[in-house]
Structure 1
Amino acid sequence: MPTPSPTTQTPSQRVVVESIGSARPALAGLLASQLGLPANQVANALYKAPSVLLEALPQEHACGLATILQQAGLAVRVEPNSVPRPAAAATFDIALYVTEVADLPACCERLARFLGCLPAAVLGLLSSPPGVIIGDVSAATCAALQQQLADLSVELVCSRRDEARYQLLIERAPGPQLDSLLHDLRQLGIALDPANDQPQGTLNHTNAQQLWRRHQAGGGLRLLDTAFLRYDLSLEAVDANSQTERLPELAGLPAALIDCVLENLPVVVEEGVAHPALPARLQAWQAAGMPVRPQVASLRRCRLRVPAGSRLGPALSLLQQSGLLPPDSALPRLPWQSPVLHGELLPRWLQHNFEQLDIPVEWQELDHEQH
């Protein structure tokens, strides 16, 4: 009987991606071309790890490929084809909240390297509420991204799709398309709130996606994962039962500012409260006899106004970088106002920079009817 060759003696092997690690996104395209695989298949293997990249390889080839991939920053392992394949991982959507806006430029640079795009594109993602930067990825990708941003003042919010709840916002004129949408909502047991004509309750991922595919072509719809929403808490009034001495504890402000706050009500006393933390924060203020009103900061709409007589020159590059002026534009004539800004990140970042430049600006808050 002939002696089996080493190849037949060694079980065929597979290469499993455990995490994208510190690898650059461009690696997916390079691997696809070198391995002769579809680009989306390679991207899924990287971003939905743990997952199989290649299988049925001789051990020598599998180990050689694994070494190359590890040198490129991927976390991989080699295992026999005979063991069970990795189970499909739960997938997440990821949003980012910048707690300290001074870190925004560094955050954009790092995310650009991770996502394989320009920092300006990242700024566009972050400043489009609610700041979703990547979707349909595994927990391993969430962990890799968290490691990339660990020393920055940011909060990475990873929402698991099969557990997520979605808020549908409707800004659609009366007519057949609105009627059809409302009919489908009623079929799901969701009615409109008579106070604001918005859906009461939330949707799971499956129902949300079905509604979106069926109705998004008509426009006037927004679908938001509630895990990504941020709230500002506004203290509007106090009375004899209010424990105002607890303002420093609850709002994190110096005791010397208590009188100033009370003299200027209503005042925002907390900013950027995450959706999961909202009930506890509302309860804490209520227990102190100072009920607060939550406002969805993620849905803020405003305009920046620069009054006549301001020195706008030092802020020209800032306005260009933020997309409020074209890259090659000259200084606008004053007074000047920006297009409508959506969300809270870009206004916070602009305010921070204008304060650093000692340039006075004003903000015009808009409701949903103003454009």
Structure 2
Amino acid sequence: MHRGTASIVRALAPHFDLPPAEIAARLFRAPAVLATGLPAEVAEALAGALRESGLELDIEPEDAPLPEPGPSYDVAFYLRDGGRFREVARELALVLGCSLADAASALCATPATVLGAVSQATVDALRARFSPLGVEVDASNPATARYDVFYRGEDAGGLATVRAVLGALGLEVGAPPLVASGLPQAQASQVWRELAARSLVRVVDQAFLRFDLSLIEAPSTPGFAELLVRETGMPEKLVPRVLSRLPVVLHAGLSARELPVRVAPLEAAGARVSAQLIVFRSFRLKVEELRDAPAVTELLGSVLGLPAAEVRTSLARLPHTFAPPLGDTRARWLVAELRARGVRASLEPA
């Protein structure tokens, strides 16, 4: 996988009897055979050009054994710093060969599953490219993954339908929203086939779940302040202030793998903590103060999908909370964008 995958595909397409989508798939599944039956001089010329563009490849005889197919992975992004959203979206658009708007939409999905069925080499390349931009790249092999089923309906009839489908598959049915947990791929796919058309459930790879960890109650022991500093990195002088404002989020955006590691030392010290799943949460934007109303009007109209006249009227009567809900990543990006423009804004749970 190369940061300019889309441009490489366009350059390769005229030379191979393959559709661009298949060329891209082979690049993302590397190591893979890119082309066969090429004259030696053509192969050498193409290899030289591709190496200059950053690809690693070999020229082998036609009868050489095919590379052993390795496991494939689905890949999701978690962007911790909303202020780098535009930068990440531009880079993702370059890699995927899509529009900036489509890349932004992919990043704002919950979870942000940006690629499927890619090789370990591609996962490594994505991490090398996007980790410096503040992105945590999660990879999961569907063959070994476990999936959770969340009920997304609003009435008893829909829940009864979901329970019937899950029960027919021999699954233990839990209380909403998490109605089934730990399904292998085959069962998860069957649940999705049965219920997707009705928009009643979301099936999510456990590897792509994210959580906020909140401190609910703290023990009144001298060593707990030191533990908080060690576990969270907060300055020691802030500890009394934090403890006076419980509950408070100590860790944001933890993966399912990280969560128990962060919970264990807190609970061992006698604290009471709570994990909140952030995949489906949403927010409303509250604007309290601004300087450049025209620029903010254009931004909010675009992101919130509101007419410019409605946004202008709302901004003339601050503070104002906008009604359209925003998912986690989009909300954090929008607040960072507004603050960079001198706007005082915050998020309220939707």
TM-score, scaled to structure 1:
0.82
- Distance in 2 of aligned mates of 1:364 and 1:150: 29
Q: Note if contact 1:305-1:363 (Cα within 8 Å) is conserved in structure 2.
A: yes
In structure 2, the partner of 1:120 is 101
- Distance in 2 of aligned mates of 1:242 and 1:198: 38
Unaligned runs of 5+ in 1: 1-19, 367-371
Residues 111 and 266 of structure 1: CA distance in aligned 2, closer, same or farther (over 3 Å): same
Which of 193, 199, 203 lines up with 1:223 in the alignment?
A: 203
What are the residue-to-residue correspondences of 1:238-277 with 2, within 5 Å? 238-240=218-220, 243-245=223-225, 246-277=227-258
In structure 2, the partner of 1:77 is 58
SS in 1 for 2:115: strand
TM-fit CA distance, 1:237: 1.9
Aligned pair count?
342
SS in 2 for 1:151: helix
Q: Note if contact 1:242-1:290 (Cα within 8 Å) is conserved in structure 2.
A: no
TM-fit CA distance, 1:216: 0.6
TM-fit CA distance, 1:189: 3.9
Q: Note if contact 2:219-2:269 (Cα within 8 Å) is conserved in structure 1.
A: no
Q: Note if contact 1:229-1:296 (Cα within 8 Å) is conserved in structure 2.
A: yes
In structure 2, the partner of 1:87 is 68
Describe the superposition over 1:54-98 as per-residue Cα deviations: whole angstroms up to 9, x where unpaired. Answer: 223343333233233334443221112222111223111111112
Which of 177, 182, 185 lines up with 2:166 in the alignment?
A: 185
Residues 271 and 190 of structure 1: CA distance in aligned 2, closer, same or farther (over 3 Å): same
Q: Note if contact 2:28-2:118 (Cα within 8 Å) is conserved in structure 1.
A: yes
In structure 2, the partner of 1:209 is 189
Describe the superposition over 1:132-169 as per-residue Cα deviations: whole angstroms up to 9, x where unpaired. Answer: 21222111222222232243222111222222221111
Describe the superposition over 1:7-55 as per-residue Cα deviations: whole angstroms up to 9, x where unpaired. Answer: xxxxxxxxxxxxx334431433553344222333322211111111222
Amino acid at match of 1:106: E
- Distance in 1 of aligned mates of 2:62 and 2:190: 37
Amino acid at match of 1:118: S
TM-score, scaled to structure 2:
0.87
Which of 254, 271, 285 lines up with 1:290 in the alignment?
A: 271
In structure 2, the partner of 1:162 is 143
Residues 199 and 336 of structure 1: CA distance in aligned 2, closer, same or farther (over 3 Å): closer
TM-fit CA distance, 1:296: 0.9
Q: Note if contact 2:298-2:308 (Cα within 8 Å) is conserved in structure 1.
A: no
In structure 1, the partner of 2:304 is 324
Describe the superposition over 1:237-281 as per-residue Cα deviations: whole angstroms up to 9, x where unpaired. Answer: 234468532222223212222221222111111111121011111
Amino acid at match of 1:351: V
Q: Note if contact 1:305-1:338 (Cα within 8 Å) is conserved in structure 2.
A: no
Q: Note if contact 2:297-2:308 (Cα within 8 Å) is conserved in structure 1.
A: no
- Distance in 2 of aligned mates of 1:178 and 1:269: 34
- Distance in 1 of aligned mates of 2:325 and 2:68: 46
1:337 equivalenced with 2:322 (yes/no): yes
Which stretch of the first structure deviates more once superposed, 220-229 or 275-284?
Answer: 220-229
Q: Note if contact 2:148-2:178 (Cα within 8 Å) is conserved in structure 1.
A: no
Amino acid at match of 2:251: E
Describe the superposition over 1:216-252 as per-residue Cα deviations: whole angstroms up to 9, x where unpaired. Answer: 1111221211111211111112344685322222232
TM-fit CA distance, 1:294: 0.3
SS in 2 for 1:77: coil
Amino acid at match of 1:53: L
Q: Note if contact 1:232-1:295 (Cα within 8 Å) is conserved in structure 2.
A: yes
Amino acid at match of 1:347: A
Q: Root-mean-square deviation (CA), in Å?
A: 2.7
Residues 102 and 364 of structure 1: CA distance in aligned 2, closer, same or farther (over 3 Å): closer
In structure 1, the partner of 2:19 is 38
In structure 2, the partner of 1:100 is 81
- Distance in 2 of aligned mates of 1:283 and 1:41: 46
Amino acid at match of 1:244: F
- Give % identity: 30
Q: Note if contact 1:243-1:290 (Cα within 8 Å) is conserved in structure 2.
A: no
Larger helix share, 1 or 2: 2
